[in-house]
Copies of this chain bind each other. A is one copy, B any other.
Amino acid sequence: MTNPRADRVKDVAKLVGRSSRTRRRQFLVEGPQAVREALRAHRDCLVAGGTAVVDEVYASRECLDRYPEFDEFFESTQESGGSQLQMRIASELVLAAMSDTVKPQGIIAVCRFVDVPLGEVLAAKPLLLALLCRVQDPGNAGTLLRAADAAGADAVIFSNSSVDVYNPKAVRSTAGSLFHLPVVLGADPSTVAALCRKAGLGVLAADGYGALNLDQLQDESAARSFEQQTPESAYQLESPTLWLFGNEAQGLSAAELELVDHRVAVPVYGAAESLNLGTAGTVCLYASARAQRRPS
């Protein structure tokens, strides 16, 4: 493909906009790393008898020469049969016309929406969940999803009126994590809190004004693993937990704070007025992950 004005190119480029994404339930994934993760998820899904994740891949000859794994992947999926996956060589001009980036990275995949219903997440008996309430910046949404993936969270839930996680900038920021753990979109926070509580999870808010201190919860959790007698706060960090994280500028609203069992502050040791969303989210999720995975 060499004509950047071809109908097919325009069709792909439309997925940069939210309305086309929503209507077609497809989104764009750009760059070798993210496309690799999408293709892995695609293969794993098909092997497990599920539906396709990737519908089309467009790559430059240079990119395929540089990353021979893509050709190998296409050969192996063709051999295993049943895949509808289309793979086409495209010029850099075509790739640039398909993307919203100035420098496309040589490969673009058109993927199907991967979000799942909350019920599916809860059926898998999760230990660690994150609920992002009204997060607005696509980069923050992607970064938190990647941090939740690194911390081994079982899923990330986005509230209604959050940024679209299928926005190309959000997808880039996830660095492939969108294909690693289940994502729930458009959720109502009070429903999420109620269903998670019913499923045995404690519900915590990351809140700079919280009465509980995250470091103290961590130390108490470590003390329990050493069978030490120490004062005990009202929450055990190793318990199955849903964390609520708020909007970048306003944090959690009064109504959202009403939904939680406890408000937990990440301590600020220096002069910073507050933590940014990514920092607070990372520290909270890692603290839970470590407490839950400590050999007892």
Interface residues of chain A, those whose CB is within 8 Å of chain B, are 33, 139, 143, 146-153, 175-177, 180-181, 215, 218-219, 222-223, 225-226, 228, 266, 268-276, 278-279, 282-283, 286, 289-290, 293-294
Which residues from chain B contact A150 at a C-beta distance below 8 Å? 266, 268-270, 272, 274-275, 279
Q: Identify 26 residue pairs between A and B in the complex whose beta-carbon atoms are under 8 Å apart, listed by A's number.
A: A33-B273, A139-B139, A143-B276, A143-B279, A146-B275, A146-B279, A147-B276, A147-B279, A149-B271, A149-B272, A150-B268, A150-B269, A150-B272, A150-B275, A175-B272, A176-B273, A177-B270, A177-B271, A180-B270, A219-B222, A219-B225, A219-B294, A223-B226, A226-B228, A278-B282, A283-B286
- Given A228-B226, A283-B283: A272 and B146 within 8 A (CB)? yes
Report A48 CB to chain B, min CB distance, Å. 15
State whether A270 touches B149 (Cβ < 8 A): yes
In the assembled complex, how far is the CB of residue A188 from the closest CB belonging to chain B, in whole angstroms? 26
The answer to whether B226 touches A275 (Cβ under 8 A) is no
Name the residue among A148, A228, A283 with the largest chain B CB count within 10 angstroms: A283
Contact, CB under 8 Å: B283 / A269: no
A201 to B175 CA separation, bound complex (whole angstroms):
34
Docked complex Cα distance between A23 and B35 (Å):
44
The number of times this chain is found in the oligomer is 2
Q: Of all chain B residues, which has the CB nearest A151?
A: B269
CA distance A175 to B279 in the complex (A): 13
Q: Give A152's nearest chain B residue, CB to CB.
A: B269
Q: Cβ of A290 and Cβ of B153 under 8 Å apart? A: no
CB neighbours of A274 from chain B (8 A): 150, 175
Query: In the complex, A149 Cα to B176 Cα: how many Å?
Result: 30
With known contacts A147-B279, A272-B149, A290–B215 Cβ distance under 8 A: yes
The interface residues of chain B lying within 8 Å CB-to-CB of A268 are: 150, 152
Complex contacts, A153 vs chain B, CB 8 Å: 270
A278's nearest neighbour on chain B, judged by CB, is B278
In Å, the complex CA distance between A218 and B286 comes to 12
| Shortest CB distance A162–B (Å) | 20
Check if A290 sits within 8 Å of B147, measured CB to CB. no
In the bound assembly, the distance between CA atoms of A181 and B269 in angstroms comes to: 12
Which chain B residues border A175 with CB–CB below 8 Å? 272-274, 276
> Contacts A147-B275, A279-B278; is A269 near B293 (CB within 8 Å)?
yes
What CA separation (Å) do A219 and B290 show in the bound complex? 10
Q: Which of B215, B228, B283 contacts A282 (CB 8 A)?
A: B283
Using Cβ atoms and an 8 Å threshold, which residues of chain B touch A177?
Answer: 270-272
Q: Which B residue sits closest to A41, measured CB to CB? A: B271
Taking the closest CB of chain B, its distance from the CB of A24, in whole angstroms, is 27
Partner of A270, one of B181, B215, B294: B181
Cα-based distance from A294 to B278 in the complex (angstroms): 24
Extra contacts, 5 of them, besides A149-B270, A226-B228 (Cβ < 8 A), are A148-B270, A152-B270, A176-B273, A181-B270, A283-B286
